[in-house]
Amino acid sequence: MREPREIYTVVTTSADADRGNFQDPTPAGSCFSPQRAQKELARLIEEKKETLDTERYDSEEQSDTVWYVYLDGYAAARFIRIEIITSLLMDEGDTDG
């Protein structure tokens, strides 16, 4: 049995209560390399910034693993979040019953 490997998945989540949009977490892909995941995160951020209605969002936060835009004071109801989620990929033989 192999040791579990870390896998990095880039996920987008958003909500816009005013427009009735509540996006389920949507994976953009998974990879074994954190650097590759960060490149995909950067690509998705740039893509989203090109189409972002900046009048509807006034705050932005970013780190190596997450980008988040929202309307200050209304962040739970209007936001876009793109992040890298790290998890373990288990061998097929690893089951708990």
Kindly report, residue by residue over 10-27, the tens digit of the pLDDT.
Answer: 999 999 999 999 999 999
Q: Are 40 and 31 in contact (CB under 8 A)?
A: yes
Q: Are 88 and 8 in contact (CB under 8 A)?
A: no
Give the global pTM.
0.86
Rounded Cα–Cα distance for residues 20 and 24 (Å): 13
Q: Are 28 and 10 in contact (CB under 8 A)?
A: yes
Residue range 65-78, pLDDT digits in tens: 999 999 999 888 99
